[in-house]
Amino acid sequence: MKVSIISLGCARNLVDTELVTGRLKVMGFDIADEVEGSDVVLINTCAFIEESKKESIETILKAVKLKDEGGVKNIIVCGCLGQRYGRQVSSDIAEVDAILGVDSFKTVARAIKAIGKGRRYLEINSPDLRYPNNIPRVLITPVHYAYIKIAEGCHNHCSYCAICNIRGSIRSRPMGSILSEIGCLASRKTIGEFNIIAQDSTSYGIDRYKRPALVKLLKKICGLNKAHWIRLLYAHPGRFSDDLIDTIATQPNICKYIDLPIQHISDKILSAMNRGTSRRQIETLIKKIRRRIPSAAIRTSVITGFPSETEADFRQLLDFIKDTQFERLGAFVYSREEGTPAFGFKGHIRERVKARRFDRVMRLQQAVSESVNRRFLGRRIEVLVEKKLDNDTYEGRSEYDAPEVDGAVYVRSKALLAPGQFVQVDITDTLEYDLTGNAVCPKKIKIDTR
């Protein structure tokens, strides 16, 4: 059977899609590049916030239309939307042949066999997904980088977030499993960057080892010497230890990129969000990071329009963004999610006010980013080449830019460059979010894959 796969949502969901793809390939299924013409289209969905739910539903309905036209034979919905709203989807969209939850790599083959016999299939188990050690991943990312999921689920219980309900509490992978996977992926000799991910990476180990173990894990990963860049993503500011700061500062292959979602800065809002941190703690942490790692780029995310957010609370946030000069920042409009404590809070903000505050944050950050980028003018930085744009222009990323979410470096080079190649680039121009420069003596950096 020919199976096509659509992956929606975050990088953590992408890893799940890679595991599903690996399971299917091992079992002899043909993985199709195009949806049209496939026997089964499998949609790994997201349901984190309202916007992602809408995207998931729209994708399902497009597949339904294609099925009605004879373009595909069967539709499987899996992942977060399946876990959270599977029975509702089954009732409302009869054209969907099977619905699975977040542990769909365990059940997808059974589902395909069932629908092949003309039966609808519904299997949504409790969110107890544990990362499998015996399933080969088929990378969907470009060949030069990969995500490494070190834990599943979350135990923070932020009042606005549905992840604990969808994915369950934190379940850290054994270190040996993580190191083995990195070694296996690195044997392909094309991967120059590993991105370490979890819902909250700084909580790694507290369930399995009864204490935070991220620093120990990072040192072991660096000791493998399997990639030129190691990037840490999704670090909670309440658990960002001095040891972690020192590890990032002293390990040469850890990117000096700090992904630190603060969500807000008003103590009243932080408390209502159940973030487990305060303005003072956040300010102290940022000062420590910038003192210990002067070259670090700090990326954060914030939420606008949380229930009871006054104009004064929002002004605190704007002033903090302006004063702190975050190198990277993403903003989200608060999404009222069923099953979360904040759903029942008083003081919900009107949608147009939330949207207006979001726009004000992004306008401010645009100016901040433009100012930050000007610091790179005339500097020489290392760039990972992503793709060729035209005869002598390439798109790449610096260590200060994570895949998909941050800016780019546009590189001019007379010599031919290849995706996955690291080059030194002299920055000649800066844009609001991107940089432009000329490649200097381009050469590949050899990565030890023994």
Residue 132 pLDDT greater than 80, yes or no: no
Please give the residue that has the higher pLDDT: either 197 or 116.
197
* 187 Cβ contact list (under 8 Å, min separation 6): 449
Burial of 450 (0-12, 13-18, 19+ CB in 10 A): exposed
Range of the domain at 393: 380-440
Q: Which residues pair with 30 in a beta bridge?
A: 2
Q: Is residue 133 part of a domain?
A: no
- Alpha carbon separation from 175 to 86, 213, 218 (Å, rounded): 33, 9, 10
Domain identity same for 235 and 340: yes
Burial of 323 (0-12, 13-18, 19+ CB in 10 A): exposed
Domain identity same for 387 and 351: no
Band of residue 48 on the pLDDT scale cut at 50, 70, 90: confident
Q: At what angle do helices 242-250 and 279-292 cross, to 10 degrees?
A: 30
What's the CA gap between 47 and 382, in Å, rounded?
37
Residue 128 pLDDT greater than 70, yes or no: no
Domain identity same for 105 and 163: no
What's the CA gap between 346 and 28, in Å, rounded?
53
176 — phi, psi (to 5°)?
Answer: -60, -40
Please answer whether residues 332 and 293 qualify as being in contact, where contact means their C-beta atoms are separated by less than 8 angstroms. no
Q: Which residues pair with 381 in a beta bridge?
A: 425
CATH label of the domain that carries residue 335: 3.80.30.20
Q: Is residue 448 part of a domain?
A: no
What does the pLDDT read at residue 172?
94
Per-position DSSP letters for 367-400, written without gaps between them: HHHHHHHHTTTT-EEEEEEEEE-SSSEEEEEETT
What does the pLDDT read at residue 127?
67
Band of residue 208 on the pLDDT scale cut at 50, 70, 90: very high
Domain identity same for 415 and 358: no
Band of residue 447 on the pLDDT scale cut at 50, 70, 90: very low
Band of residue 272 on the pLDDT scale cut at 50, 70, 90: very high
Domain identity same for 221 and 247: yes
Domain identity same for 293 and 262: yes
Q: Longest Cα pair distance anywhere in the chain, in angstroms? A: 65
Q: How many domains does the chain have?
A: 3
Domain identity same for 368 and 394: no
Which pair of structure tokens corresponds to residue 256?
């000096």
Domain identity same for 292 and 404: no
Strands (E) located in 150-272: 151-152, 171-172, 193-197, 229-232, 257-259
Domain identity same for 262 and 333: yes
Domain identity same for 275 and 302: yes
Report the run of H or E that residue 109 belongs to, with start and end: helix 104-116
What does the pLDDT read at residue 449?
37
> What pLDDT digit, counting tens, does each position of 418-427 carry?
999 999 999 9
> What pLDDT digit, counting tens, does each position of 75-122 carry?
999 999 999 998 899 899 989 999 998 888 778 888 998 998 888 988
Domain identity same for 151 and 227: yes
CATH label of the domain that carries residue 409: 2.40.50.140
